[in-house]
Amino acid sequence: MSIYKLYYFNERGRAETSRLIFATGGQKFHDIRYKETGKNNLEQAKVDAVADTLTDLLNKFSPIFWKEEEDENKKKEGINKFMTEELPKHLKNLETLAHSYSNGGYFFVGNNLTWLRANRKEVEKQPRIAAYLKSRPITPY
């Protein structure tokens, strides 16, 4: 039986459901937890605020762009509404968080790497994902 690797930060969060599924099925797995969640509770809260803002944006974006809409005019209206109303609002929120949290640095929180970037890098290093990323077609999104 394969042993899976679950990468997540050192909290239950969204990964806990996967951990419970592994446990229920008797599936062994490596529970790899990132430490890059912030140096203290305040930094952790700031990292969570940035991640939650990005999640809010994706939750608005996904149904519009990935929904099977028969009526092209309705789809265009949805995309236009997202681009003119939702996207600017969420980008403004992210800009506010970056200005408030970054201390003038290049990162959203503090001047060091957090789990947001570390998670992406770890996922992209997985051999099959890395191979896919090299061979996937170029698309607008």
Give the chain's domains with CATH numbers: 1-34 (3.40.30.10), 40-135 (1.20.1050.10)
Helices H / strands E in the chain, number of each: 6, 2
Distance CA 77, CA 22 (A): 42
Please give the residue that has the higher pLDDT: either 86 or 33. Answer: 86
Q: What is the DSSP letter of 137?
A: P
Query: Which of 6-15, 31-40, 71-80, 109-118 is predicted most confidently?
Result: 71-80
| pTM given for the model | 0.53
User: In degrees rounded to 5, what are phi and psi of residue 21?
Assistant: -65, -45
Confidence at residue 30, expressed as pLDDT on a 0 to 100 scale? 94
Distance CA 141, CA 138 (A): 8
Distance CA 124, CA 58 (A): 20
